[in-house]
Structure 1
Amino acid sequence: MKKIGLAIICCLFLCLGKAQNKKILPLIIISTQNTALVYTTNTENQLSQLYFGPVLKSTADYSMIRASSLPAITTQGATTVREPALGVLHADKNPSLELQYLNHTAKNEENIQSTEIQLKDPQYPFYVTLHFKAYRNENVIEQWTEIKHQEKKPVVLKYYTSAFLQLSSENYYLTQFSGGWANEMRMQESLLPESIHSIESKQGTQGTATNLPSFMLSVDHPANEESGNVLAGTLAWSGNFKLGFENMHYNEETGRLLQILPGVNNYISDYILSPNTSFTTPSFIYTYSYSGKGQASRNLHQWANNYGIYKGKENKSTLLNNWEATSFNFDEKKLISLLDESQSLGVDVFLLDDGWFGNKYPRNSDNAGLGDWEVNHKKLPNGLPFLVNEAKKRNVKFGIWVEPEMVNPKSELYEKHPEWILKLPNRSENLRRSQLVLDMSNPNVQDHAFKVIDNILLQNPGIAYIKWDCNRYMTNTFSNYLKEKQSNLYIDYILGLYKVLQRVRQKYPDIELMWCSGGGSRAEYGGLKYANEFWPSDNTDPVQRILMQYGYSHFFPMGIQCAHVTSWGKQPLKYKLDVAMSGKLGFDIRVNEMNSQELKLSQNAVKNYKNIQDIVNTGEMYRLIAPYNNNQAAWMLVDQSKNKAVLYAYTLHTQYGDYFDPVYCKGLDPDKKYQLTELNLEDENKPQLSQNGKILSGDYLMKVGLKWFLNGSIKSSIIELKSVN
């Protein structure tokens, strides 16, 4: 018995020794309030995604999940044939990459958990750091990648995505948005095929001209607004992007695995990275909703207002733009009359658009003057200071249009600095809108672009608003500055643009900036880090804008979508006002052609808008009736306290026999009472809503709803809801 006991004791010690020598796998938990992304390592010491889904109450439970042998990050030329997330051509021309786990760090600061995971190629001094920010209250994760090396010569980055997410399910339904000039945000939802699918942009300066770098992915079944599992993501980048989806066939270990690879498009962009320098990818921002697309949008909106948009919580300025009224044809007298109209409307800003500059080559059309940012003395003999002062007398702020990234061949800038222009040396110039693109990868061009803004604001300190435009994409591109690094151009251009915007923000933190690019070609969070709002489309027809603004709301708050009342479309003025008031209200219309009733209606709309603007800007968005397959549309915005809300309702081109569903409100407090007030009435004695002025409970409004009250085509209504004791 003694021998048996001794043997047992020896066995126990031997097992204990083995347990002590056994490597303890790391457990890296990146967690918001509702979602956890968890990593560990596999048998090859490669990072492996252990879990992505709802937060578990006990962190110890994550260690109970069976780890996959598949690495979380697919690399070029290693041991897999899957679509690579990262790839490199080393200095010795080895085209492969392997990454092993080194260590990780994490820290919590109030609402944000920051995590860094260090990886390294075992054969090369090549390092990759994965960065994560988990925003607890917003249930949003921001992810990006930093790459650096200490090889003797430059390496070439072939693939460099921002994130690497894996899902396992039978089916996925992809919602994406595409289009073109004046036809932005056409929604498509389809079953993701078993293949490699991508959403891409290759237009350089105008990253979102044809596709949005944003998507929603419903897992298992198509999601609706308030039910279903939905991953929503958006890339913060103003240039070429690629959202990759590799939907693999079923295997025993993973089931049907979907790999999601969002990042900069590597199209003709093998990036040459010198030793001891860092390459940082743009951020991929995403959220996982377990209660439908609506909650995914509300998560992104909350994150955007708090972190993603420059001064996102602040209300934006209402304005009157001169473009529709004058085009290029104006003088001081005409602009003074428009300042009077701005004052009469009650808007905050008068915005002077294109055409105010150029002397040797006057900017009287789009074929001359671009790049010569000096006031046209013939049009404006007293300069901008005179106009700024006249605006101040009328209690109106002054705004200005600029396009610092572009140049006309017919300009002094073109003559003085041909080396600053992107164009192939042995090809004919390829013009778009009669203009060419300046080389923003060149520090001298960056200085020039900054000085365009700096000089305007130094000479006119009263200017409070800038519309930053970009009216063409990149073609025929060659950089004199980059020389042998031409493949860096598409990336270094955008990085150079961001350097300029950073300088502008550092020196002029209070300037309000509209992010605009030939319509909705920069609808993304890379530029919105520096801008207060963006221009969704040059198409301001209100029927089209209902679809567009509804579509953009999947990823962007309503309050940053510039929505102007213009001459586009033949709808009544009230309809145009009601549509524009669902976004950031502005006017680009001939106010002097309004009759007294139309002017009064517009003035009243401006006042009403300012009373509800805080809700438009930061309220929670509930999409109630989609306009895509209906001749009606409705949505509402609710403030955080649930004391105030705004309901928008529209009919489009109705047909005889159309049936319209009631409007069931959402997001209200069922225990509160709300008084309903219809805004923008043309006749105060003839409201369209029969319950106008009545008090109804939140419970009633959400369960019984409001019977559809708009009769006929092109009708609209805005209902303000206020809680009462």
Structure 2
Amino acid sequence: MKHLIATAALALLATTTLNASDMKQIRISTDRTDLVLQVGDNGRLYQSYFGERLLNESDLKELGWSVHPASDGSVSRRGWEVYSGSGNEDFFEPALAVTHNDGNPSTWLYYVSSSSHPVEGGVQTDIQLRDDKYPVDVTLHYVAYPKENVIKTWSEIRHQEKKPVTLSAYASTMLYFSRPAYYLTEFSSDWAKEAQMSTQPLLFGKKVIDTKLGSRAAMHTHPFFIVGLDQPAQERQGEVLMGTLAWTGNFRFTFEVDNVGNLRIIPGINPYASAYRLNRDEVFTTPEFIFTLSTEGTGQGSRNLQAWARNYQLKDGKGTRLTLLNNWENTAFDFDQDILAELMKEAKDLGVDMFLLDDGWFGNKYPRKDDRAGLGDWEVTHDKLPGGIRALTDAAKEAGVKFGLWIEPEMVNPKSELFEQHPDWAIHYPNRETYYYRNQLVLDLSNPAVQDYVYSIVDKLLKENPDIAYFKWDCNSPITNIYSPYLKAEQGQLYIDHVRGVYNVMKRVKDNYPDVPMMLCSGGGARCDYEALKYFTEFWCSDNTDPVERIYIQWGFSQFFPAKAMCAHVTSWNKAASLKFRTDVASMCKLGFDLGLKELSAEELLYCQTAVANWKRLQSIILDGNQYRLVSPYESNHMAVNYVSTDSRKAVLFAYDVYPRYQEKLLPVRLQGLDPTKHYKVAEINLMPEAQSSLPSNGRILSGDYLMKIGLDIFGFRPMQSHVVELTEVE
């Protein structure tokens, strides 16, 4: 009887709200984009417009909620529902699927209320929806950033049914388009070949991009995409949607073109093996989906997202970054305290800010001599480093550089004291043969005790060694043997609660040590999302540091991330490339080195010292300036990108000859983003000692108008050659 009364009250509330709303419209706007939602005459919420911002508010009244012709010629009241539930009259993919206590799998959501309030940089709109038959509520959240032309959205799901309900789909949002054609650019990946771009048309049916790896989740595909509207996405013209999901676990993007050629896009957590048991009054919060709609191609879309990230999402997004020397490519596991102290002196000689000690410093019963043992035992190997971390931080201080440290705290080797003591802390089957990826298992971060342990690793290191200035936080394995000893019968929670546990740890680290910068690494670039980057200052794009490959990798990641979030190191990969070429490629992102200075000639060392000094002098332009991708390696045998300071007084141009064809036609590089009324002195930098610039324009003063319309003759015919050009306003 009580259930009937409650259901009737919900239905009355929905009806009352509908009458009061009078076909209410909700406008979510940036300076360039409008997303208009409208309550239909059936009380449900629909997308009525998504496109360029409408100049006249009076035009909004001309918008209506969508109707569609049925196959028999009649009109169907099937609109573009903003958060469509399963079991309704929509024939296509839903955003939400709930199985209620009585086994009913249908959810119909009706508009209840909405409100808006200011947040940092924008306006947040909250919209409450409710099922008319069951006590299930969904709150849709949108934050519009007017200046950056970015919108982020997420949803919250809760219920008051007597027993838990089961969620089998829980998207972050739904977006719709009605255009003649759609083209998807996706970013496939694997170890050492991250962010590889490819484009295909979206035709009738569904295209799904997803991952089921749990941890190191983006190893095969990254959580972002581009949709070209009417035509394939282009750099400088055309309308594109660029979207990314802020989630470090399994994700799924569904692109569905229906029977009349409309496209719906559904981003969210991948529900694979994740039928989620939601308790009464528990809130299920979906990840943020962040998107921008650009009418000036992907270049402008990228600048929107890059500015937004620096301003609001990236940890210390407005701060500087540390240049560094890493020891991995130089020593691997083979080092001791004295060797590291000498490398710290090399870091100082090079001119970088920090020395970073990579893998191989921990474990005693099972010392970390290779990747088969030691993970989980975060005690310094005594016979390798008798003075402990404190001796290393002291040596760094004596050398005049900061000290950073590699950790992989979410993982465990079976050959470790931790696994011997707590085998139930690792994700693995209780009754099957265990299989391993990289000789390790993933710790079960759905378990609060494991969360406490992982946090304690960082906490103890920093309390005992407050001079640790930086962490490189790695994550080398996906989840294998997918069973949580902690969750037992609730295995549908594992993939989701594990990621939430990872965030709990990261948040505690950030809250208690807010000034410690950290690099997000996952066997290379398999963690690259904007939720994790709330806690990390930067991410490692790839273990592949071959400069030719890095040109493609960095081009791909730059579509969604600012240069200051992307780590790039100079190493010995591809020694056929000159040290200058390797350094110039790394200099277009956050610069680091991972090689031994003793393998360099005196001339090469002097070059590197000069390049480091130049990068540090110009980092505010490279890391915080507006980025313009000029020449794509996917479309030519060359690549070029320039950065422009926010006041347009300084710019830096990076240009690379990758593998030019014999006597191919060379075109000038036309810069972008300069002030056409200003004049700039052109100066090639990062030259080898005693070398003279071969650029005809070197030393000349040219107008911004000339540089953007006519450009610079900078490309050549020799493979793996590079030029870095500094442009400075002349009064």
TM-score, structure 2 normalization: 0.95
In structure 2, distance between residues paired with 1:22 and 1:679: 66
Among 479, 482, 490, the residue aligned to 1:477: 482
Query: Per-residue deviation at 1:179?
Result: 2.1
In structure 2, distance between residues paired with 1:72 and 1:435: 43
Report the equivalent of 1:697.
703
Report the equivalent of 1:326.
331
Structure 1 counterpart of 2:228, which letter? S
What does the per-residue CA deviation read over 1:3-44, in whole Å, with 9 as the maximum and x for residues that have no partner? Answer: xxxxxxxxxxxxxxxxx9896111101111110111111122
The 5-angstrom pairing of residues 245-264 of structure 1 reads: 245-250=255-260, 256-264=261-269
Determine whether 1:369 maps to 2:369. Answer: no
SS at match of 1:613: helix
In structure 2, distance between residues paired with 1:232 and 1:702: 26
Q: Do the aligned partners of 1:208 and 1:524 also contact (CA within 8 Å) in 2? A: no
Query: Per-residue deviation at 1:59?
Result: 2.2
Query: Per-residue deviation at 1:580?
Result: 0.5
In structure 1, distance between residues paired with 2:328 and 2:637: 31
Report the equivalent of 1:583.
589
What does the per-residue CA deviation read over 1:67-92, in whole Å, with 9 as the maximum and x for residues that have no partner? Answer: 21412222111222210111111122
What does the per-residue CA deviation read over 1:354-377, in whole Å, with 9 as the maximum and x for residues that have no partner? Answer: 010001111111101110000110
Determine whether 1:520 maps to 2:529. Answer: no
Report the equivalent of 1:9.
none
Determine whether 1:41 maps to 2:39. Answer: yes
Report the equivalent of 2:719.
713
Structure 2 counterpart of 1:79, which letter? E
- Cα pair distance change 1:326/1:307, threshold 3 Å: same
Among 79, 88, 113, the residue aligned to 2:89: 79
What does the per-residue CA deviation read over 1:702-725, in whole Å, with 9 as the maximum and x for residues that have no partner? Answer: 011112343411100111111110
What does the per-residue CA deviation read over 1:439-462, in whole Å, with 9 as the maximum and x for residues that have no partner? Answer: 010000000010000000001000
In structure 1, distance between residues paired with 2:301 and 2:225: 11
Query: Per-residue deviation at 1:293?
Result: 0.9
Report the equivalent of 1:7.
none
In structure 2, distance between residues paired with 1:599 and 1:62: 63
- The number of residue pairs the alignment matches comes to 701
Among 162, 179, 188, the residue aligned to 1:169: 179
Q: Do the aligned partners of 2:23 and 2:41 also contact (CA within 8 Å) in 1? A: no
Determine whether 1:241 maps to 2:251. Answer: yes
Report the equivalent of 1:676.
682
SS at match of 1:63: helix
Structure 1: unaligned runs, 5 residues or longer: 1-19, 251-255
Q: Do the aligned partners of 1:146 and 1:279 also contact (CA within 8 Å) in 2? A: yes
Report the equivalent of 2:74.
none
- Cα pair distance change 1:685/1:325, threshold 3 Å: closer
What does the per-residue CA deviation read over 1:188-230, in whole Å, with 9 as the maximum and x for residues that have no partner? Answer: 0111111111111111101211111111111112232111011
Report the equivalent of 2:12.
none
Cα root mean square deviation, aligned? 1.3
Structure 2 counterpart of 1:133, which letter? V
What does the per-residue CA deviation read over 1:295-350, in whole Å, with 9 as the maximum and x for residues that have no partner? Answer: 00000001111112101121211000011111111111100110110110011110
What does the per-residue CA deviation read over 1:66-125, in whole Å, with 9 as the maximum and x for residues that have no partner? Answer: 321412222111222210111111122111111000010112346311100000010111
Report the equivalent of 2:453.
448
Report the equivalent of 1:119.
129
Query: Per-residue deviation at 1:514?
Result: 0.0
In structure 1, distance between residues paired with 2:161 and 2:145: 36
- Cα pair distance change 1:109/1:448, threshold 3 Å: closer
In structure 2, distance between residues paired with 1:655 and 1:114: 52
Among 171, 186, 190, the residue aligned to 2:200: 190
Among 3, 8, 30, the residue aligned to 1:32: 30
In structure 2, distance between residues paired with 1:313 and 1:692: 32
Determine whether 1:408 maps to 2:413. Answer: yes
SS at match of 1:53: strand
Q: Do the aligned partners of 2:174 and 2:264 also contact (CA within 8 Å) in 1? A: yes
Among 169, 192, 216, the residue aligned to 1:206: 216
Report the equivalent of 2:226.
216
Report the equivalent of 2:341.
336
Determine whether 1:271 maps to 2:281. Answer: no
Structure 2 counterpart of 1:629, which letter? E
Determine whether 1:497 maps to 2:507. Answer: no
Report the equivalent of 1:50.
48
In structure 1, distance between residues paired with 2:223 and 2:706: 39
In structure 1, distance between residues paired with 2:716 and 2:606: 23
Query: Per-residue deviation at 1:50?
Result: 1.1
Report the equivalent of 2:58.
60
Structure 2 counterpart of 1:363, which letter? R
In structure 1, distance between residues paired with 2:171 and 2:143: 17
Query: Per-residue deviation at 1:145?
Result: 0.5
Query: Per-residue deviation at 1:163?
Result: 1.2
Query: Per-residue deviation at 1:684?
Result: 4.8
Report the equivalent of 1:647.
653
- Cα pair distance change 1:627/1:23, threshold 3 Å: closer
- Cα pair distance change 1:78/1:709, threshold 3 Å: closer
Structure 2 counterpart of 1:724, which letter? V
Among 83, 98, 104, the residue aligned to 1:94: 104
Q: Do the aligned partners of 1:88 and 1:155 also contact (CA within 8 Å) in 2? A: yes
In structure 2, distance between residues paired with 1:517 and 1:724: 45
SS at match of 1:355: coil
Structure 1 counterpart of 2:568, which letter? A
In structure 1, distance between residues paired with 2:214 and 2:205: 27
In structure 2, distance between residues paired with 1:696 and 1:485: 67
Q: Do the aligned partners of 1:377 and 1:383 also contact (CA within 8 Å) in 2? A: yes
In structure 1, distance between residues paired with 2:574 and 2:505: 37
Q: Do the aligned partners of 1:181 and 1:537 also contact (CA within 8 Å) in 2? A: yes
In structure 1, distance between residues paired with 2:56 and 2:164: 46
Query: Per-residue deviation at 1:470?
Result: 0.3
Identity fraction in percent: 49
The answer to which of 190-199 and 113-122 deviates more is: 190-199
In structure 2, distance between residues paired with 1:473 and 1:687: 48
Determine whether 1:290 maps to 2:295. Answer: yes
SS at match of 1:637: strand
Structure 1 runs of 4+ aligned residues shifted over 4 Å read 20-23
Q: Do the aligned partners of 2:33 and 2:293 also contact (CA within 8 Å) in 1? A: yes
In structure 2, distance between residues paired with 1:21 and 1:113: 27
Structure 1 counterpart of 2:681, which letter? Q
Query: Per-residue deviation at 1:603?
Result: 0.6
What does the per-residue CA deviation read over 1:566-617, in whole Å, with 9 as the maximum and x for residues that have no partner? Answer: 0111211000110010011001101121111111111111100001111111
Determine whether 1:617 maps to 2:615. Answer: no
In structure 2, distance between residues paired with 1:534 and 1:24: 48
Structure 2 counterpart of 1:56, which letter? L
- Cα pair distance change 1:67/1:370, threshold 3 Å: same
Query: Per-residue deviation at 1:61?
Result: 1.4
Q: Do the aligned partners of 1:116 and 1:130 also contact (CA within 8 Å) in 2? A: yes
Q: Do the aligned partners of 1:447 and 1:500 also contact (CA within 8 Å) in 2? A: yes
Q: Do the aligned partners of 1:688 and 1:710 also contact (CA within 8 Å) in 2? A: no
What does the per-residue CA deviation read over 1:463-501, in whole Å, with 9 as the maximum and x for residues that have no partner? Answer: 000000000111211111112210110011110000000
Among 536, 542, 545, the residue aligned to 2:541: 536
In structure 1, distance between residues paired with 2:343 and 2:21: 74
SS at match of 1:691: coil
TM-score, structure 1 normalization: 0.95
In structure 2, distance between residues paired with 1:23 and 1:645: 52
Q: Do the aligned partners of 2:375 and 2:412 also contact (CA within 8 Å) in 1? A: yes
Determine whether 1:626 maps to 2:624. Answer: no
SS at match of 2:320: coil
In structure 2, distance between residues paired with 1:454 and 1:700: 55
Q: Do the aligned partners of 1:710 and 1:716 also contact (CA within 8 Å) in 2? A: no
